[in-house]
């Protein structure tokens, strides 16, 4: 093997990793941030190992029936995001993707199809599972101009989930 080949062999993974990090960081800083309410698929099995299985909650009543396939969003439809008077609860409505371009922000169907997973430290899984039953869960996402999203922090009643879990674990004074 030539030394040049070894150098390329080392350099390519390193550059590749740096590129993935830069791209992810760029996506995290682009687009507009939206707090989206999430719910589990199966309330008895919210957390699986080291990840939370979730889906985005959307207003099924106001959505077009053609856009809904049970709890799933049809492939030709997108999620339309509009701000409301409550900054923590935007309107999330499934609409055909052509109509979604008129919305303040929109998300492609492929971005919200299961399995959606939010990775968590495995040691915190039981505590987080308990906390999810007591608090409203919101995922801060960034909606990018191409309809894709960058997933940010998980919040429980408006606070970071780790803070809520840590607080619940602390012994209380009698």
The answer to whether the CB of 109 falls within 8 A of the CB of 77 is yes
Query: Using the rule CB under 8 A, is 120 a contact of another protein?
Result: yes
Of 37, 116, 130, 168, which one interacts with another protein (CB under 8 A)? 116
Query: Using the rule CB under 8 A, is 11 a contact of another protein?
Result: yes
Query: Using the rule CB under 8 A, is 20 a contact of another protein?
Result: yes
Nearest approach, Cβ of 64 to another protein (angstroms)? 26
Query: Using the rule CB under 8 A, is 48 a contact of another protein?
Result: no
The position carrying tokens 């995922």 is 139
Query: Using the rule CB under 8 A, is 99 a contact of another protein?
Result: no
Query: Using the rule CB under 8 A, is 1 a contact of another protein?
Result: yes
Query: Using the rule CB under 8 A, is 72 a contact of another protein?
Result: no
Nearest approach, Cβ of 140 to another protein (angstroms)? 10
Of 48, 62, 88, 121, which one interacts with another protein (CB under 8 A)? 121
Query: Using the rule CB under 8 A, is 61 a contact of another protein?
Result: no
- Write the DSSP assignment of the chain as a string of letters: --HHHHHHHHHHHHHHHHHHHHHHHHHHHSSEEEEEEEE-S-TT--EETTEEEEEE---STTS-GGGEETTEEPTTEEEEEE--SSTT--EEEEEEHHHHTTSSEEEEGGGSPSPEEEE--GGGHHHHHHHHHHS-EEEEEEE-TTS-EEEEEEEETTEEHHHHHHHHHSPPP-
Which residues contact another protein (rule: CB under 8 A)?
Answer: 1, 3, 5-14, 16-18, 20-21, 24-25, 27-28, 50, 116-124, 150-152, 162
């Amino acid at each position: 093997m030539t030394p040049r080949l070894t150098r390329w062999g080392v350099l390519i993974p390193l550059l590749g990793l740096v590129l993935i990090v830069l791209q992810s960081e760029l996506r995290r800083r682009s687009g507009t941030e939206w707090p989206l309410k999430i719910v589990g698929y199966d309330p008895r099995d919210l957390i699986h190992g080291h990840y939370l299985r979730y889906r985005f909650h959307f207003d099924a009543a106001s959505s077009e029936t053609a856009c809904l396939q049970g709890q799933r969003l049809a492939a030709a439809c997108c999620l339309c995001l509009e701000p409301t008077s409550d900054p923590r609860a935007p309107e999330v409505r499934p609409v055909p993707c052509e109509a979604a371009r008129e919305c303040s922000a929109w998300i492609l169907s492929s971005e919200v199809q299961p399995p959606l997973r939010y990775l968590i430290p495995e040691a915190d899984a039981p505590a987080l599972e308990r906390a999810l039953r007591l608090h409203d869960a919101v995922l801060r996402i960034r909606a990018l101009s191409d309809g894709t999203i960058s997933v940010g922090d998980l919040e429980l009643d408006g606070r970071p989930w780790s803070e809520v879990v840590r607080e619940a674990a602390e012994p209380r004074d009698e």
